[in-house]
């Protein structure tokens, strides 16, 4: 479950839904760079885990809106804390990555 909750698209979808109910097209427009396939896949996963709900209106064409459930709303604060941590430490993480990438590698990590 954690791989679905902690991915970047989930974070952006949950954040978008903190602003209220959204239609698919509104989410697609607000979440820059997400493909239709990834948006649908993530919406289904979030619905499956009980974090969002999908409301279908009996209109022609059918109208669907997504919103956070109480369980989904309880995820907003932990995601905000994680985002805050990432923002505060991005330079430290980049420095560590650069140091790792530029250091000699031993054979211990290589598969035999």
What is the biggest distance separating any 2 CA atoms in the chain, rounded to whole angstroms?
63
Domain count, the chain: 1
Structure confidence at residue 1 as a pLDDT band (50, 70, 90): confident
Q: In what order do the strands lie in the sheet with 22-23?
A: 22-23, 63-68, 52-57
In a domain, 109, yes or no: no
Report yes or no: 76 and 14 within 8 Å, Cβ to Cβ. yes
Indicate the average pLDDT of the chain: 92
Specify if 108 maps to a domain.
Answer: no
CB-based contacts of 101: which residues, under 8 Å, 6+ apart?
none
Q: Whole domain around residue 23: which residue ranges?
A: 2-102
CATH of the domain at 89: 1.10.10.10
For the chain, give the percent of residues with pLDDT over 90.
Answer: 78
Residue 44: the pLDDT is 96
Residue 13: is its pLDDT beyond 90? yes
Residue 92 lies in a domain: yes
Per residue in 84-106, pLDDT (tens digit) is: 999 999 999 999 999 999 988 77
Evaluate if residue 36 carries a pLDDT over 90.
yes
* Chain Cα centroid distance, residue 16: 10
pLDDT band for 108, please (50, 70, 90 cuts).
low
């Amino acid at each position: 479950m954690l791989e679905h909750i902690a991915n970047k698209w989930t974070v952006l979808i949950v954040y978008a839904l903190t602003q209220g109910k959204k239609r698919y097209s509104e989410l697609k427009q607000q979440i820059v760079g997400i493909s239709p396939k990834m948006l649908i896949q993530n919406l289904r996963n979030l619905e499956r885990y009980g974090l969002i709900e999908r409301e279908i209106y009996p209109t022609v064409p059918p109208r669907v809106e997504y919103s956070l459930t109480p369980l989904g709303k309880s995820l907003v604060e932990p995601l905000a804390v994680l985002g805050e941590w990432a923002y505060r430490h991005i330079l430290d993480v980049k420095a560590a990555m650069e140091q790792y990438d530029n250091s000699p590698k031993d054979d211990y990590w290589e598969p035999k």
